[in-house]
Structure 1
């Protein structure tokens, strides 16, 4: 088979040997083919046969530049669907304006048999709110710097005519000692005091590390001395 890209009006030769010559592809204006004593204008899918082709065939492109593909050989050539078409050597550029949105409803389950070891060299600073607890597990001893108390502070509360007084919360409180002049009951909130639930009866000096506020209930005019150790 012969194949070549030819310029407009170009004349060229190629050697052949056989009894047929089939034009598989040619410019639209056709080819002027001289094979021996035979001169014909052939177009794509044209064929000349029953010839004794030996030597050189001279071909002139009668139109614009393009590809020329010629099949030749012995016997009777019967074109098949595979060689009737034109060979595509280059596709034109395709411009896509937009793609449709894709919605993924679900993903298949993924089974992970093992994960690689992860080494953490540094952790960000962490702030804990009041009441949170932290459990630390480590193979090596941890060096923990104790919190050094910075000062003491005292206050005296007096139950009002309704027999109630409130102490504000103090996040810096490390511990405190509550010493009432008479029996009082401490509640963690006003609602608890109203419902008389979660109360703690205090009759003498009582030490605790609670940092939240308290509501004291007892006999009116009872005084409560409070000493706080703060960071």
Structure 2
């Protein structure tokens, strides 16, 4: 398979995007304890991650139809800022914006994950950067789960064990204060470790927890299946 200089440059930039994305996601995870004390930090990191996904990955993706990614990413950033401001100053408006906010974020992260899988399958070589790209896609599923749990907290707080969540009402809006803990809980569910912040008697939150866990396992299974299928087709040819 011959690669032109332009394609090689595009591939190098895309691989750099894989590394930057994974680094940003790992940094977000590591800073969750800090975000618990700095209410605006998690939202800032999510917005920066969305911008980074659009600039470093969507821009150099080998796939077409990038307008959807840009549109959803921009809308997600705008809604993230608007939602948090509304929760602080106009709680009723914040609750109204919760559903569109979470739908846009989940859809954006889902589109990013799907496009990333397709891009990874089309990579001509499996390099270290490609492996890092696959890992970043897996973490994107965990981020989507964290957004879903935060939305459920706003709409149905009784589904969570209050004693297992941080009591940080002194910092302002409690939803913003517990968001880092819910994001951490999502990654615990993603890796099948489990979490103690969910009420086992609540069916809604248990269904959501199972959805996060199953989505993570399906991502790994689908990615491995697609890559092995491509290798098999090459061997047959």
The TM-score range, normalised by the shorter chain, is under 0.3
* TM-score between the two structures when normalised by the length of structure 1: 0.20
Ranked by relative contact order (alpha carbons within 8 Å, sequence separation 6 or more), the top structure is 2
Greater share of helix:
2
Instruction: Give the structure with the higher percent strand.
Output: 1
Q: Which has the larger radius of gyration?
A: 1
